[in-house]
């Protein structure tokens, strides 16, 4: 057994010893977006520090625990807090939980994040369904020898985000009168927010929102054969001169304010799968 497969098995065995839930879907909750946790019934919460080989996250606003339970009757696993490359973790550490959730049995992964807006039509607090991404992170999570038992050497990335889930989320949002944009997410390393010139550049190359997470998780999820849905909460607007000072507090506050809308869409999506 390869080292990675052994680590995945250790983590999965431990989690299965703590909860009888066999999740069909995984959910990653971004900064300030942890409110969905209270929707999970009969939950078991496992601090990341208890799980073999799991990194422990450091950023304020990230609670750092894995939650297993049911949502609308469906068995789910949720990550409250995620790992970012800028924290100093390797890409293998950043994406290790995706491997573990796959081994626990999930087939679908729902991802949320806070992101900076670069589309003139966006306002703070808006939601954006990610329809595609541009990877500007400096390292690739699949770099190195490939273990064919985990996925192919050269994964296709022509449709990383499930068209069916995007369509369903659009219907759910419309039925609830929630406005949603659809757009392209640019993944960067951070931890600096972007300069004005960088926001402009990323918009010119086709980006609508920018953030410091998600892309490595999506790549590994696609490698593992998972169906992926991802949504950004626009927490700041980088392209407007007068609004260009961005703080982490502002990001968390805007994310929390928009969180009920995102939670509604995720809850209904879970019910539909
Ligand atoms: N840039 C990068 N990451 C972010 C931003 C941003 O403007 N807002 C929230 N996360």
**For residue 132, what pLDDT is reported?**
98
Average pLDDT, integer, range 71-75: 93
- Cα distances (angstroms) measured from residue 143 to each of 5, 159, 171, 176, 216: 16, 20, 37, 42, 11
* 62 has pLDDT over 70: no
**For residue 241, what pLDDT is reported?**
65
**CA–CA dist 174, 152 (Å, integer):** 37
* 60 has pLDDT over 60: no
What are the pLDDT digits (tens) for 11-35?
999 999 999 999 999 999 987 777 8
* 205 has pLDDT over 90: yes
Best of 113, 115, 230, 232 for a ligand 1 pocket test (most atoms within 8 Å of beta carbon) = 115
**CA–CA dist 7, 10 (Å, integer):** 5
Q: How close is the Cα of 202 to the center of ligand 1, in Å?
A: 12
Query: Is 262 touching ligand 1 by the criterion CB < 6 Å?
Result: no
What are the pLDDT digits (tens) for 211-243?
999 999 999 999 999 999 999 999 988 877 665
User: Which residue in 137, 226, 252, 124 sits closest to 185, CA to CA?
Assistant: 137
Residue 100 β-bridge partners: none
**For residue 247, what pLDDT is reported?**
81
Best of 84, 246, 254 for a ligand 1 pocket test (most atoms within 8 Å of beta carbon) = 246
**For residue 61, what pLDDT is reported?**
47
DSSP string for 200-247: HHHHHTT-SEEESSSHHHHHHHHHTT-EEEEEEEEEEETT-GGG----
Average pLDDT, integer, range 30-45: 87
What are the pLDDT digits (tens) for 115-163?
999 999 999 999 999 999 999 999 999 999 999 999 999 999 999 999 9
What are the pLDDT digits (tens) for 240-266?
766 567 788 887 887 888 889 999 999
Query: Is 215 touching ligand 1 by the criterion CB < 6 Å?
Result: no
Q: How close is the Cα of 234 to the center of ligand 1, in Å?
A: 8
């Amino acid at each position: 057994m390869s080292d990675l497969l052994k680590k995945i098995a250790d983590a999965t065995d431990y989690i299965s010893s703590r909860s009888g839930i066999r999740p069909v879907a995984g959910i990653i909750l971004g900064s300030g977006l942890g409110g969905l946790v209270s929707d999970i019934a009969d939950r078991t919460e496992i601090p990341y520090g208890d799980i073999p080989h799991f990194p422990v996250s450091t950023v304020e606003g990230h609670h750092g625990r894995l939650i297993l339970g049911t949502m609308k009757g469906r068995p789910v696993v949720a990550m409250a807090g995620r790992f970012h490359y800028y924290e100093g973790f390797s890409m293998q550490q950043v994406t290790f939980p995706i491997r573990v959730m796959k081994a626990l049995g999930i087939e679908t992964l729902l991802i949320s994040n806070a992101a900076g807006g670069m589309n003139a039509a966006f306002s703070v607090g808006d939601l954006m369904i990610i329809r595609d991404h541009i990877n500007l992170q400096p390292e690739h999570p699949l770099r190195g020898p490939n273990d064919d038992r985990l996925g192919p050497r050269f994964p296709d990335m022509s449709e990383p985000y499930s068209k069916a889930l995007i369509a369903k989320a659009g219907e759910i949002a419309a039925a609830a009168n929630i406005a949603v944009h659809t757009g392209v997410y640019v993944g960067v390393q951070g931890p600096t927010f972007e300069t004005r010139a960088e926001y402009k550049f990323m918009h010119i190359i086709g980006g609508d929102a920018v953030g410091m997470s998600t892309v490595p998780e999506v790549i590994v999820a696609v490698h593992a054969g998972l169906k992926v849905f991802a949504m950004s909460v626009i927490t700041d607007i980088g392209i407007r001169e007068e609004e260009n000072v961005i703080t982490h507090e502002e990001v968390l506050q805007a994310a929390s304010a928009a969180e009920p809308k995102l939670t509604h869409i995720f809850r209904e999506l879970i019910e539909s799968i």
